[in-house]
């Protein structure tokens, strides 16, 4: 489903000012490292199988489109945590996001990232994306 949203966003250019060419060295976390089920910096419970990521500088709660130029795969996720805490890395993807962009085997990869604004997400979802389903 997120792939459909990302395709629509890319087709109509519904993005904020962060260019897709902005690179980020990314890794992934969450399955066997003890983070699954812990509280994140945003206050939510970390789910390794959800579309989330950690970033030291991106706004908590913001939507990010992650693209792997090597595989041509992309995923749309939300910043819920801070990290990574390894020098030189800019992003930590959840296990699910890492699987979708094809970096599980490599562990670390140079990716591209672009922030998607809330208005664009509301257009795609047809409602406020922060509101829980009834």
User: Residue 30 — pLDDT band, cuts 50, 70, 90?
Assistant: confident
Cβ-Cβ contacts under 8 Å for 70 (sequence gap 6 or more)? 102, 109, 110
* Per-residue pLDDT tens over the stretch 83-127: 898 999 999 999 999 999 999 999 999 999 988 877 776 666 665
Average pLDDT, rounded, for the chain? 81
17: tokens are: 């000012």
Residue 128: is its pLDDT beyond 80?
no
Q: 45, 35 in Cβ contact below 8 A?
A: no
What pTM, to 2 d.p., does this model score?
0.74
Q: 46, 81 in Cβ contact below 8 A?
A: yes
What span, in angstroms and rounded, lies between the C-alpha atoms of 4 and 6? Answer: 5
Q: Class assignment of domain 2-125?
A: mainly beta
């Amino acid at each position: 489903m997120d792939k459909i949203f990302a395709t629509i966003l890319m087709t109509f250019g519904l993005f904020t000012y962060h260019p897709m060419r902005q690179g980020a060295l990314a890794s992934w976390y969450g399955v066997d490292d003890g983070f699954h089920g812990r509280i994140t910096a945003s206050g939510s419970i970390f789910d390794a199988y959800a579309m989330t990521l950690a970033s030291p500088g991106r706004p908590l709660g913001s939507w990010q489109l992650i693209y792997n130029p090597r595989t041509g795969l992309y995923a749309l996720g939300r910043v819920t945590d801070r990290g990574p805490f390894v020098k030189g890395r800019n992003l930590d993807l959840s296990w699910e996001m890492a699987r979708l962009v094809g970096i599980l085997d490599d562990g670390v990869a140079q990716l591209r990232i672009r922030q998607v604004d809330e208005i664009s997400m509301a257009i795609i979802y047809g409602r406020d994306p922060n509101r829980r389903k009834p």
